[in-house]
Structure 1
């Protein structure tokens, strides 16, 4: 990584643990502190339009969206000014925090930035039986669990592939989740914009509201927190799309493909040089294989959260 434009380092660059797709480092120089993200280039699951994402980020930052200042972007490296704040746990946030996230979404959607790239089409993989067989042959610790849920994963793939998306499409962040947020003085800071692009509005609102209203599972979903995201969106000029299962299709499709991606990484059996470590990939597989059938089964209950 060529980071000479950030100034002379005052201490060695250090890796920040975590990261579900890329690797993050902190660099302290005479010019300040920076978050340096090393982008995964080995098995990237989407096209990263770094020039356009940087343009969107700069417009959002200039409009006062609470986020780290974007510094530079390339296919391999993404740099922001470092922001101190508290990590947001995977647990229901406060209604006021959720309300402000809704307001932020409305402000992002109203930026009016030109975007020429088509929406990222959900990848619907149906090779779960083959992956389960390979997992068994290679002695993966979750092989039996995957085999027992293969039919459910195929049903989820069918749901994702056939779910009607009512529109409209909006240019947005696409991944506002607890792990992409900080809390600073009790208020949100939005991180990790590299997935930005066009998305069906129902998927953006449903994914965001659900992630902020629940813990790691679905046993403690807080309807008041879910509704607060939507209230904040409407209060800042947004219009809610029609109610339906499409509100959760984007979240489920992303989790399904993320699980498959980590299954393939685990089957390789070696530590990749970019992206998550092997232990984190195994954890992601366990979470996906157990959690996806549960969220799919509970779709009718989740739809009761909608206005």
Structure 2
């Protein structure tokens, strides 16, 4: 049976949540930008809302399915994170268990920009990476405390289906020469539950509003390893540095600023051990965005090959520090 349209589901959701009747809806505009969910802006007499529903089959070339109840984890992450830092998250208006969807504030305004778009247009502006890192470290730090309520975030199986399997294990199948390293990393990440992990800290999921980051799309949320969120975000900065060689130096600076700012708050474990895990994971995620189930779309063929070769080399000969890894990136970007 075909899935109902986003227009129909969105209207039904707003009615169920008591936000607007069908007669009060002025327009429904589907939003692009993701492969895992149906999202729309709904303009009503009562204001504008953003509605989101998880997809069972993701919109990628490879066969990639994921449980739709992950929508609950995303809503829970946004709710918990907004309690930690209210100014950095959209207002939430409710979730429907039956529809596997929720409604939140539609973030808009003259000062709102999608970080991915801004990075691809002009490279990183000074300080952007640092404020994202500070927000992420705050969530990680506070969720590491014994008093943090972990209920709602026992989502390791969903995280595996959405991240570990399509990124690391799938890439291991493509590259048997490094398969042991990739599968070992996937297994270690699956077992970790130290902090509340967002799971998709990508520039496409980060808006800047009046200079402050707004972090969205936490459907991979689980108690996990802090290294994943950090490496995931740094990976996007690295890839864009190769894509825009004229901005390579600002991207390298942004990577260093992100790492420096993030580690100012790390007190839940040995910082050196966390840095080593990030340094091991980052090249694996670089490879996964070339040969995994969700390859990045903007890289030229020559850059894809360059990143593939560099990633494989580092995975086979691991670097144990972020500084050492950044030095390798700097050398490669200049070649």
Q: Structure 2-normalised TM-score?
A: 0.65
1:251 to 1:16, Cα distance in 2 relative to 1, 3 A: farther
- Aligned residue number for residue 230 of structure 1: 259
Q: Which runs of 5+ in 2 are unaligned?
A: 1-8, 58-63, 328-335
| Residue 96, structure 1, aligned to residue 127, structure 2 | yes
- Aligned residue number for residue 32 of structure 1: 47
- Aligned residue number for residue 203 of structure 1: 228
CA contact (8 A) 1:168 1:201 kept: no
Distance 1:251 1:7 in 2: 47
CA contact (8 A) 1:50 1:194 kept: yes
Aligned length: 266
Higher helix share: 2
Distance 1:188 1:216 in 2: 21
1:195 to 1:216, Cα distance in 2 relative to 1, 3 A: farther
Distance 2:289 2:129 in 1: 27
| Residue 170, structure 1, aligned to residue 195, structure 2 | yes
- Aligned residue number for residue 86 of structure 1: 113
Q: CA deviation at 1:176?
A: 1.1
- Aligned residue number for residue 136 of structure 2: 105
1:182 to 1:28, Cα distance in 2 relative to 1, 3 A: same
1:253 to 1:208, Cα distance in 2 relative to 1, 3 A: closer
Distance 2:71 2:49 in 1: 18
- Aligned residue number for residue 59 of structure 1: 80
Spell out, residue by residue over 1:179-226, the C-alpha distance to the aligned partner (whole angstroms, 9 max, x if none).
011111222111111111123222222222342455163652633211
- Aligned residue number for residue 114 of structure 1: 150
- Aligned residue number for residue 276 of structure 2: 244
Matched residue of 1:175: which SS?
A: coil
Distance 1:284 1:154 in 2: 26
1:285 to 1:95, Cα distance in 2 relative to 1, 3 A: closer
Distance 1:251 1:25 in 2: 34
Distance 2:32 2:215 in 1: 19
CA contact (8 A) 1:36 1:77 kept: yes
Matched residue of 1:38: which SS?
A: strand
Matched residue of 2:78: which SS?
A: helix
Superposition map of 1:122-271 within 5 A = 122-123=164-165, 124-125=169-170, 150=174, 153-163=175-185, 169-212=194-237, 214-215=239-240, 217=242, 220=248, 222-236=251-265, 238=267, 240-242=271-273, 243-244=275-276, 246-247=278-279, 249=281, 252-253=284-285, 256=288, 260-261=292-293
CA contact (8 A) 2:49 2:105 kept: yes
- Aligned residue number for residue 330 of structure 2: none
Distance 1:191 1:258 in 2: 24
Distance 2:300 2:239 in 1: 19
CA contact (8 A) 1:204 1:247 kept: no
1:258 to 1:47, Cα distance in 2 relative to 1, 3 A: farther
Spell out, residue by residue over 1:69-128, the C-alpha distance to the aligned partner (whole angstroms, 9 max, x if none).
222334632322100121113444234111111111121111423145153342213796
Distance 2:286 2:203 in 1: 15
| Residue 72, structure 1, aligned to residue 94, structure 2 | yes
Matched residue of 1:193: which SS?
A: coil
1:229 to 1:284, Cα distance in 2 relative to 1, 3 A: closer
Distance 1:16 1:118 in 2: 27
Alignment RMSD (CA, Å) = 3.8
